[in-house]
Chains A and B, each alone.
Chain A
Amino acid sequence: MEESIKAAGSDDRGFLGGERGLRSWIFSTDHKRIALLYLWSIMSFFLVGMTLGFLIRLELIAPGATIMGAQTYNALFTLHGVIMIFLFIIPVVPAVLGNFLLPLHIGAEDVAFPRLNLLSWWFYLIGALMALASLFTGGGPPDTGWTFYVPFSTQTTTNVTVAAWAVFVLGFSSILTGLNFLTTIHRLRATGVTWNRLPLFVWAIYATAWIQLLATPILGLTVALIAIERIFQIGLFDPARGGDPLMYQHLFWIYSHPAVYIMILPGMGIISEIIPTFSRRRIFGYWAIAVSSLAIAFAGSMVWSHHMLASGMSDMGVFVFSLLTFLVAIPSAVKVFNWLATLYKGTIWLAPPMLYALTFLVLFSIGGLTGLVVGSAGTAIHTHDTHFVVGHFHYVMFGGAIFAFFGGLHYWLPKIYGRMYNLRLATWAWGILTVGFNLLYFPMFILGMQGMPRRYYDYLPQYTTLNVVSTVGSWILIAGLLLMLWNLWRGSRSGPPAGMNPWGGRTLEWTIASPPPKENFPGEIVVSTDPYDYHTGEGHS
């Protein structure tokens, strides 16, 4: 980070220039610098989470003990989940791209509460460090899985209490970011940026922010209850003391299912930006896409118990939650059809961001459609808690949210750093990543149908072949990931100048210098065009 600033060494580096040194970053209230603080801290945790995933897959290459003991394995998959979900996917798009782009997209100078924004990053950092501390203190790393199910989590001797407080603190980062973005979108739109001229990325961030604000407090309370239960033994969830273990699951999923939409909605917003730019097309069904984001946020808040279809919950509960689950699939389908229609009679440029966006369409469809299998009551019973579910959510979260984020990085990093990465290498990395991804996760659907449960350290010999394929896939995936990250890093440091608008985008960030100046726009601006202002007969220059 610092080095790239030194390399530039002058004030034409926009917000990257000017004040230097660690303090000018970690105490900066500039939304763009905060976005980069998030980028670097979140990506560091991503590399840790990826390494853990690699080790988990390596252990599973053969039945029995391969490279570690059962207790270590259990701690590793717990940490992989906690890091990837709480430290990576939940914050990554809103906190990095949202922070960077939201004020630019609406013609504002900054978010509504810049200091609160900085505080949110500090909450993130403190929460993340607490999560790390739980590894090395107390009774050893938590081994409960990222879901912290009681009564196991209140009985295990490992360090669950610290990890639970870490999640509690991280929650504040998310809540405050949501609050900040909502206020920003309502109050700071430049003249002319009406609700029907908001880029769809902003609509997606808007829907996400409502979930962050309304659902995260419930998670905070729930993990706090776990910590209290462990410390004071008050018996909220312990049937021997009159408590109810299923109550915990309800409380946990009331947040953690909507959290899935915190992860995927901003990704969908990215796709809605990339596809018009690389097809030179107005987005098809602007209102359908905007409203479906809100519909997903709303309906997605009422489907939490589909994680509990095999829990012994009442049949009425199963009926209601299975039905609502099918309904939440519809707005997602509507989005996919509108994106496809946007390609119609456009002129398609398969640059790296577009490759990621198109791959998103397929991988997210696989993830979403397999969601129907686990959402239907009869079939959920068989697939619940098997590798089918592991495959399903990695397709949605990784193939969906993270592929969208990677597309977004390829799309906006040249804006953020003002430099272009190597397009050829980026295309290679995309290809390797996509092949590795499918090799890694597709076999899990078959393993799950064959009955292999998830969170298994050891498995019966009939599951060996597909586990080997999956593990080999993880190596290819990681090779692609490292190539991609290295190419982006090198490009951001020393690539050729990207120019103001390398892709021909129409949203406001492309009308200013790359990297953007500290104050974003020269004073107050007036906007008179919509964000997808393309015309018939247009091509790529």
Chain B
Amino acid sequence: MNPPLLTTAETIDPVFWYILGVCIFFLLLITVVMLYFVWKYHRSRHPYTTSQVSKNVPLEIVWTLVPTLLALSMFWYGWAGYLTLQRVPEGAMVVDVTGRMWSWLFEYGNGKTSDRLYVPAGQPVQVNIHSADVIHSFYIPAFRVKKDAVPGMTTYVWFVADRPGSYDIFCAEYCGTAHSAMITTVEALPPEEFLAWYEGEGPAEADGELKALLTRHGCLGCHSLDGSPGVGPTLQGIFGRQVTVLVDGQERTLTADRDYLRRSILEPQVEMVKGYPPVMPSYRDRIPEAELEEMLDLFERPASAAAPSGEKLAQDKGCIGCHSTDGSRQVGPTFQGVFGRQVTVERNGQPVTIEADEDYLRRAIVEPQAEIVQGYPPSMPPYSELSDEELAALIDYLRGL
């Protein structure tokens, strides 16, 4: 039987206690001696000097040698701990991680990828660390391990999670705008659960092709898929959206078509979306042409059966024939900022002011004649054929305008 494997934290923590112990001892020594002398020889108690001794060679030797020996002992203990961190135990599972601005991508022996590090509890894990762009640093505080991810180099750490749980992973080497958001977790699972995940569809893996593809290329560190704001614009309903970009400082509005999306991935600095920092790196040479095509295809056809796109519905059903998205007045009220707006409607001939919440919008689509917005003709037909999913998607779309 092998002796039980010490975890990396169990190896390093005693070194901390030793060095901190020596530090605290010396700090107390220095502070107490100083305060004692200041008290005892304060001019109110000791108005005249009583000694001018200014040399004592034995004393100099003692207070040079003692710290030297202590320093060497601390060095040696620290070095021994470091060696343990560097020596990977036999039988460690190997995972590759690639840091990129600003996400981590883990790749396992069988080709499976994830954006969290799933490991079996109790088994040592070696993480080989790569970088796709600038220097990052792979840091798991709970295990006291850290190593830089350097472009052009492969580095590594090892650790063992002795019990199941979730442990933070940080990027510790400053890498730009979203450095502090380059966070994920180690998910230590019971071995059988890990195996189930490893061999099948485990917990919380990317749902849908697009998400998997975007995860693999680290897009989701900055761009959300659910409309929430991030470092960069959300990718929800990106295809066909009107975007205002800055070209050489000039504003220009264009439609996010296939060509634009391709340019914005390969040459992001040329046409930056207004209001966002110019921080996106070029993905030329980083994304294979086939995968880029696939990504564009997926952007173009988001309206699969499972998840209808509200924007596409608004086009297909002809909503935008009468409702603008830019605030301009057409046959009906504009969609811009409609969600949550105060509207005055005529209900049974009486003006009523209500908030355009989800319920109201649903009613306004399904039976528009019941509450017509004041000042607009009662010409909208009911859209009662829409499914609940389609209605939800439409309202979600309106919420984002």
Contact = CB atoms under 8 A, between A and B. Distances in A.
B337 interface: no
A280 interface: yes
B34 interface: yes
Given A151-B133, A369-B27, A373-B20, A459 B52 contact: no
In this complex, which of A323, A349, A540 has the most chain B Cβ atoms within 10 angstroms of its Cβ? Answer: A323
Contacts, number: 290
B50 interface: yes
B134 interface: yes
Contact of A378 (B37, B50, B80, B168): B80
Contacts of B42: 347-348, 350
Given A373-B16, A534-B52, A151 B151 contact: yes
B1 interface: no
Contacts of B168: 451, 460
A366 interface: yes
B145 interface: yes
Contacts of B178: 70
A221 interface: no
A279 B41 contact: yes
Interface in A410-448: none
Contacts of A338: 60
A372 B49 contact: no
Interface string B32-70: 011001100111001111111111100110011001100
A228 interface: no
A453 B43 contact: no
Interface residues of B, number: 87
A149 B278 CA distance: 19
B47 A379 contact: no
Contacts of A330: 64, 67-68, 71
Contact of B71 (A157, A345, A372): A372
Contacts of B278: 139, 157
A74 B177 CA distance: 7
Nearest to B15: A378
Indicate the member of B54, B67, B77, B177 with the most A CB atoms within 10 Å.
B54
A139 B278 CA distance: 9
Contacts of A245: 135, 150-152
B63 to A, nearest CB: 4
Interface string A369-383: 110110111111110
Interface of A: 69-71, 74, 139, 143-145, 149, 151-152, 155-157, 238-240, 244-246, 279-286, 288, 309-312, 315, 318-319, 322-323, 326-327, 329-330, 333-334, 336-338, 340-341, 343-350, 358, 361-362, 365-366, 369-370, 372-373, 375-382, 384-386, 449-451, 453-460, 532, 534-540
Given A285-B56, A345-B53, A347-B41, 14 more contacts: A70-B231, A152-B176, A323-B79, A327-B71, A329-B67, A330-B67, A343-B34, A365-B26, A365-B31, A376-B19, A382-B145, A384-B146, A385-B139, A449-B16
8 nearest A-B pairs in the assembled complex, by CB-CB distance? A239-B152, A451-B141, A378-B81, A376-B78, A377-B82, A345-B51, A369-B23, A312-B155
Interface of B: 11-12, 15-16, 19-20, 22-23, 26-27, 30-31, 33-34, 37-38, 41-43, 46-56, 59-60, 63-64, 67-68, 71-72, 74-75, 77-86, 133-135, 137, 139, 141-142, 144-148, 150-153, 155, 168, 170-181, 183, 231, 269, 277-279, 281
